[in-house]
Amino acid sequence: MQISHVVQRYYPAISGSELYMQRISELLNKRHEIKVACSNALDFYSFWDPNGKKVDERISKVKNIPIYRFPIKYRYFINKFPLFEYKEIKNALKKITRFRVPLLDIYNILINGPYCPDLLRFLLNSKQDIIHSTCFPFSINLFAVLAGKMKGIPTLTTPFFHFSNPRYHDLSLLRFLRFFDKILTCSDLESKFIMKYSGVRNIENKIERIKMGVDLEIFKKARPKQFRRKFKVWSKPMVLFCGYKNYEKGAISLLKSIKYTVKVIPDIIYVFIGPSTKGFNITKKSLSKSLRAHILNFGVVPYDNLKVKINAFAAADIYAMPSRSDAYGIAFLEAFACKKPVIGANIGATPEVIRDGVDGLLLPFDRPKILAQKIIILLKDSKLRHEMGENGYERVKNQSWEHISKRIEQIYLSLYD
């Protein structure tokens, strides 16, 4: 089959949904012809800000997969419906009007960016048997559906609804799901949220629940001692966070927890890996010099140079990501692959990933003092950490990306037939 994967960004940009699309693209490309269409954004800011970071190459190959990146068009008031400037989009809207899509819904999807009308033109003019897009609320899902409907080919989406985040309660997004032939959810809670709030009759017939995966073999190669030696943290108790360093992901709460944990564990080290944000930088700067000394801060670790990240997971005593903005939380699985206990927020789909008291601990979102208490509990009890880490590993040892990609392939084949 010829399959187009449509995603808001692609490597070297990296977050959960991009990693998901990257791994299934790489694995399915062994048996099918995969091409990836995305924006030229490198960071999320560039979806709306012309000064954001971009990838210069328009066409490239990553792991032998052709990647087509399209420029983001910027317009006043998101673009003030600039879609009518493009013949293909205008014709597509006429076509999809038969499916009763209110123009306001289309507008509400477009304002999330990235606005890449040339991406739609590419999908319309290239050959494919299946179109699979991710993730919501981004407008590339609109382009995927438009192309699929105009060409009469199946379209799927993996929406990654962060349903505990108010931003995802927009009914325009939920209603729009009805135009996809299949909706691949990653948790039962996400499935239930869509069924309850989309207002679409029999939408449960379109939903397939597929968990996220983890590269177990990669994490088996980790060298924790190398990380601790290189960064001179030796035998210090270590808490790891890996992700977008913003309020939603819980990175700010972790920074605020330091003042409580150091009173009990004075040699504690917090390791942060991932793209930074203004809020994170301001909060970190507001800490005293003595508290900042407990922070080891890294930027983005490229997927093809993962030594630092992999070794950090293996070296850590605890993985903490008390987020309210995760449809699943792939990083928790990576921690389980290294037999580490985890800490997450008791919100959204996280309780489906973390069994409180079994393979990790849960707490209310944005409660730094309680977060510090959870960290202290685990760091003070090595036996508990070991038991939770083993329990987590048992859950993911058969949850490889290879297994996940084969399940998705079966869905493709069922639609193609």
- Give the pLDDT confidence of 325-349 residue by residue, as tens digits: 888 889 999 999 999 999 999 998 8
Q: What pLDDT is stored for residue 90 in this prediction?
A: 58
Is there a single domain that holds both residue 118 and residue 246?
Answer: no
259 shares its domain with 380: yes
First and final C-alpha spacing in the chain: 11
Report the run of H or E that residue 89 belongs to, with start and end: helix 87-96
Same domain? 201 vs 300: no
Q: How many residues does the chain have?
A: 417
Alpha helices in 156-306 (DSSP H): 171-176, 188-197, 216-220, 224-230, 251-264, 278-286, 289-292
Write out pLDDT tens, residues 171-225: 888 889 999 999 999 999 999 999 998 888 899 999 999 999 999 999 999 999 9
CA count, 13 A, side-chain hemisphere, 131:
31
Mean pLDDT in residue range 49-54: 88
Residue 229 and residue 135 share a domain: no
Same domain, 56 and 114: yes
State how many domains the chain has: 2
The CA distance from 321 to 132, in Å, is 29
- Tell me: do 202 and 225 sit in the same domain: no
User: Residue 247 has what pLDDT?
Assistant: 94
d(CA 82, CA 75): 7
What integer is the mean pLDDT of 255-277? 96
Same domain, yes or no: 233 and 358: yes
230-254 per-position pLDDT tens digit: 999 999 999 999 998 999 999 999 9
Instruction: Give pLDDT tens digits for 77-105.
Output: 554 444 444 455 556 666 665 656 677 78
Query: Do 188 and 242 fall within a single domain?
Result: no
Q: Does residue 414 surpass a pLDDT of 80?
A: yes
Q: What is the pLDDT of residue 100?
A: 66
Q: Are residues 6 and 146 in the same domain?
A: yes
Q: How confident is the model at residue 356 (pLDDT cuts 50, 70, 90)?
A: very high
For residues 145 and 280, membership in a common domain is answered with no
Domain that holds residue 141: 2-213+400-416
Report, as an integer, the average pLDDT of 293-300.
92
Model confidence at 279: pLDDT above 90: yes
CA angle 356, 361, 367 (to 5 degrees): 125
Give the pLDDT confidence of 60-79 residue by residue, as tens digits: 999 999 999 999 988 655 54
Give yes or no for residue 256 having a pLDDT over 70: yes
- For the chain, what is the largest distance between any 2 Cα atoms, rounded to a whole number of angstroms? 65
Q: What is the mean pLDDT of the chain?
A: 91
Q: Does residue 196 sit in the same domain as residue 237?
A: no
**160 backbone dihedrals φ, ψ, rounded to 5°:** 50, 55
- Indicate the angle between helix axes 16-28 and 401-416, nearest 10 degrees: 70
| One domain, residues 151 and 220 | no
**Domain containing residue 224: CATH number:** 3.40.50.2000
Q: Which residues, other chains included, contact 395 with Cβ-Cβ below 8 Å and sequence gap of 6+?
A: 336, 359
pLDDT at position 168 is: 74
- In one-letter notation, the amino acid at residue 139 is S
